[in-house]
Amino acid sequence: MHFSIPETESRSGDSGGSAYVAYNIHVNGVLHCRVRYSQLLGLHEQLRKEYGANVLPAFPPKKLFSLTPAEVEQRREQLEKYMQAVRQDPLLGSSETFNSFLRRAQQETQQVPTEEVSLEVLLSNGQKVLINVLTSDQTEDVLEAVAAKLDLPDDLIGYFSLFLVREKEDGAFSFVRKLQEFELPYVSVTSLRSQEYKIVLRKSYWDSAYDDDVMENRVGLNLLYAQTVSDIERGWILVTKEQHRQLKSLQEKVSKKEFLRLAQTLRHYGYLRFDACVADFPEKDCPVVVSAGNSELSLQLRLPGQQLREGSFRVTRMRCWRVTSSAIMMSICLQSMVDELMVKKSGGSIRKMLRRRVGGTLRRSDSQQAVKSPPLLESPDATRESMVKLSSKLSAVSLRGIGSPSTDASASDVHGNFAFEGIGDEDL
């Protein structure tokens, strides 16, 4: 998750008071909140009380006199680095002090009062789940409300996440980002002021071995089954005609577990596909479809002769990656693969027990909603082409969105991730 402060604003004080500089904090290129220096200083001092000065990154000092334009820009850069450093720190970035600060700032910036509202969350098959939440409910609250509505057990909540998506004209979803603990889902989706943006529930892990835990439960099985059928229909999971026939036969028998077992053997099972883009390899402006899953980044490239080729980057072989704000979802997926690999190596588990609230209990839905079984698979796409592996070994590829300028992105728009730097192969 990337925090940036790309700009400042000069704003008038309340009741005609003196003007002040406001810092616009963007998350993945989208305005999250607007804060003053004094608010960020207050956050810094609170974190220092809780964790000690040695843990915190440097914070830009106070100035006795008004700042010049050059000093305003320098402070903006320093604050941006500070927010990025705090967010990337495992201790500070996950602290309730840091996350609650951002949630309050988001609600105040968007001027959304705290009240009960109805929020629509979609399942992968397009089914709508309507829940009652507060506008001030954080991501975990909303996720738990959806789980309660579907009767998903508490210990399976951690296997699923909420994603912000943009619905295209053809009904397909373009994934914008995974909703985080520092934001309010209702405010995040409504502040975009477009009906195109939706919230979708989808499994949050990459290793298909975790499917066994989910399939032990009826609701978990149905969610996983609905997602897999949807991914096959949209062409994310690659199937041959014979595999398609076998899958449809299992559907007709309502053999959901056997259906999923077969699906697990297919190419790109459990992968997340990104919007089409272009690459600089093997030739400039080569159309490419990028998918993430199974600890790799998969590239399907169309060569000038219209032939399809496939290549991949194994996450465990990466040492760093650099993306622009428009491709930040790709970086989020790579980072989550890294996190999952490290948790698995340490013997940890992604199984998450319900967080017990102090002084209150989780609001439970008065009525449960069943996950609808998706329709039978349609006939396979006869125009789908076969692919061959790239003969050249991939070492570095530059990607950009279709319609984006081919010139290099500005330095301020490029974000590096060095999640594997200093980690040896024996650690993975």
Q: Give the global pTM.
A: 0.84
Task: Tell me what the pLDDT averaged over the chain comes to.
Answer: 82
- In terms of phi and psi (left: phi > 0; alpha: psi -120 to 50; beta: otherwise), the region of 364 is beta
Residues 231-234: contacts with CB under 8 Å, at least 24 apart: 231/124, 231/269, 231/271, 232/263, 232/377, 233/377, 233/378, 234/172, 234/273
pLDDT band at 355 (very low <50, low <70, confident <90, very high): very low
> Which residue did the predictor score with more confidence, 11 or 277?
277
pLDDT at 63: 83
Q: How far apart are the first and last CA of the chain?
A: 23
- Min mean pLDDT across 33-47, 135-149, 225-239, 347-361 is at 347-361
Q: How far, in Å, CA of 29 to CA of 49, rounded?
A: 31
Domains of the chain, CATH where assigned: 3-110 (3.30.1520.10), 112-204 (3.10.20.90), 206-270 (1.20.80.60), 271-347 (2.30.29.30)
Q: What is the DSSP letter of 406?
A: S
Take residue 238 and report the two structure tokens written for it: 């690659």
Q: Coil, strand or helix: which one is 44?
A: helix
Q: Is the pLDDT reported for residue 57 higher than 50?
A: yes
pLDDT at 404: 52
pLDDT band at 353 (very low <50, low <70, confident <90, very high): very low
pLDDT, tens digit (0-9, with 9 covering 90-100), for 150-176 = 999 999 999 999 999 998 887 788 888
- Min mean pLDDT across 90-94, 220-224, 247-251, 273-277 is at 273-277
Q: How far, in Å, CA of 117 to CA of 133, rounded?
A: 6
Most trustworthy range by pLDDT among 78-92, 219-233, 289-303, 385-399: 219-233
Q: Is the pLDDT reported for residue 260 higher than 60?
A: yes
Q: Is the pLDDT reported for residue 381 higher than 90?
A: no
Q: How far, in Å, CA of 228 to CA of 236, rounded?
A: 9
pLDDT at 356: 40
pLDDT at 326: 53
pLDDT, tens digit (0-9, with 9 covering 90-100), for 215-256 = 999 999 999 999 999 999 999 999 999 999 999 999 999 999
